[in-house]
Structure 1
Amino acid sequence: MTLITGIVKPVSEIKLEPGSTVTIPNISWQEFEKLLEELGEKRSSRIAYSHNTLQIMVSLPEHEITRDLISDIVKTLLKVKVTRYEPFGSTTFKREGMAGIEPDASFYIQNCQRMIGRRRLQPDDPPPDLAIETDVTSKTTIEAYKAIECPEVWVYNKSKLTIYLLEEGEYVTAENSPIFPEVAIAQIITTVVERAWQVGTYQALAEFEAAIA
């Protein structure tokens, strides 16, 4: 369910059902910053802001399960490659005056060393090397990722993983991820996620880890 509305009450008082999205147009950057402060950090909703449009989304339980599973797959593959990473979850990434976005999950890989020990993002910090969305991603969401210049975004929707790579300021879809060029990551994730719905997350991950050992 998607609702487009003007602000008539404090955003923190808006109650959204799981799976709902509220879209609020004509929001300035200053208003966006105030709304973020009002919403606080301890909340179940996520936000996307671009072109003066704010979206507030509340995920369904199935999206939370899928998010965690895909994150575990990424971590497992990075460990196999002996590649260091820093997971930043649903951190709010912003580009001053333009956009803000909270992924379902995010990772610093190429920029891992720089982000070790970082408790709060600094204005000159880079965007995450990988952002993951496990829900229907709107134009506002994609535009926000483009504005913060996130180099790679994965969108898992309807049992399919789509890989978006930023090239010359625009996203293009790709068959493979530069982070995992040696594996068919889209096929792996789809297979493991679907397997998890059949046998449970623990068993699906155990089978996956055994297969790549």
Structure 2
Amino acid sequence: MLLELRRLSIPPGQRVLLRDVSWQEFELILDELGEHRSTRVTYNNGILEIITPLPEHKDDKEIISDLIKVLLEELDIEFRSLGSTTYKKQSMLKGIEPDQCFYIQNELAIRGKKRLDLTVDPPPDLALEIDITSRTHPDIYQALGVPELWRFEQSSLQINVLQDGEYIETQTSALFPSLPLKEVIPRYLEQSKTMGRNAVIKAFRQWLKTFC
């Protein structure tokens, strides 16, 4: 299988599904693929998905991530963003790599750690998925106990908050309950396509200063 993976070329926006993949094979595949790659990997009860995001997927991810970072900076909240870190739990036979993730309330618990283990470490407080390629797996994030999942699809931001073990779609973020981010984040993302990244970040920062 590993030899075939070395020969595998996945065009942007496409995915490959492998079935009956054992946990041990999943771990070997992660090692073989390495950390510095363009593909994203998901593992769910023996089914392995490998996908290559589209270029616009990366653009949207970067802008939204930057907006979240500015938000946390302006609110003076310590955080740690860990990008597409692989989160996996053998007892659940689940693993996933978000487009972006943030430790916010649990930042102190993982501060300074080079490697995370979900058997002892908390999951990220916020995971971000850009659904241009429709690869989000809410059930995996739900099982891993990620408190909040943001899904951006078709110019719309969906905010999902974990309540009693299940995601509930809400109008506001539990992390930032006083801010209308569901409307504001897509607006600034769209403006970035004409104004440019720096101008939008500056405008968003000014909006936060007047709103907060």
TM (norm. structure 2) is 0.91
Match of 1:121 in 2: 116
How many residue pairs match? The answer is 206
Match of 1:3 in 2: none
TM-superposition CA deviations, 1:94-136 (whole Å, max 9, x none) = 1124111111100001111111111111341111000000124
**8 Å contact from structure 1 (residues 21, 58) kept in 2:** yes
1:148 aligns with 2:130: no
**8 Å contact from structure 1 (residues 95, 147) kept in 2:** no
Match of 2:71 among 57, 62, 77: 77
Distance in 1 between the 2:168 and 2:22 partners? 29
1:31 aligns with 2:25: yes
Match of 1:99 in 2: 94
Match of 1:49 in 2: 43
1:160 aligns with 2:144: no
Distance in 2 between the 1:138 and 1:91 partners? 16
1:16 aligns with 2:10: yes
Larger relative helix fraction: 2
Letter in 2 for 1:120: R
Distance in 2 between the 1:80 and 1:180 partners? 12
Distance in 2 between the 1:12 and 1:155 partners? 31
**8 Å contact from structure 2 (residues 74, 205) kept in 1:** no
Q: How far does residue 12 in structure 1 lie from its aligned partner after superposition?
A: 3.0
Letter in 2 for 1:170: E
The runs of 5 or more residues in structure 1 that have no matched partner are 1-6
Q: How far does residue 149 in structure 1 lie from its aligned partner after superposition?
A: 1.2
Question: Compared with structure 1, are the counterparts of its residues 65 and 138 closer, same or farther at alpha carbon in structure 2 (3 Å cutoff)?
Answer: closer
Distance in 1 between the 2:171 and 2:153 partners? 16
Q: How far does residue 33 in structure 1 lie from its aligned partner after superposition?
A: 1.1
Question: Compared with structure 1, are the counterparts of its residues 124 and 137 closer, same or farther at alpha carbon in structure 2 (3 Å cutoff)?
Answer: farther
Q: How far does residue 143 in structure 1 lie from its aligned partner after superposition?
A: 2.2
Distance in 1 between the 2:195 and 2:75 partners? 27
Aligned identity (percent) is 37
Match of 1:208 among 201, 204, 209: 204
Match of 2:57 in 1: 63
Letter in 2 for 1:162: Q
TM (norm. structure 1) is 0.91
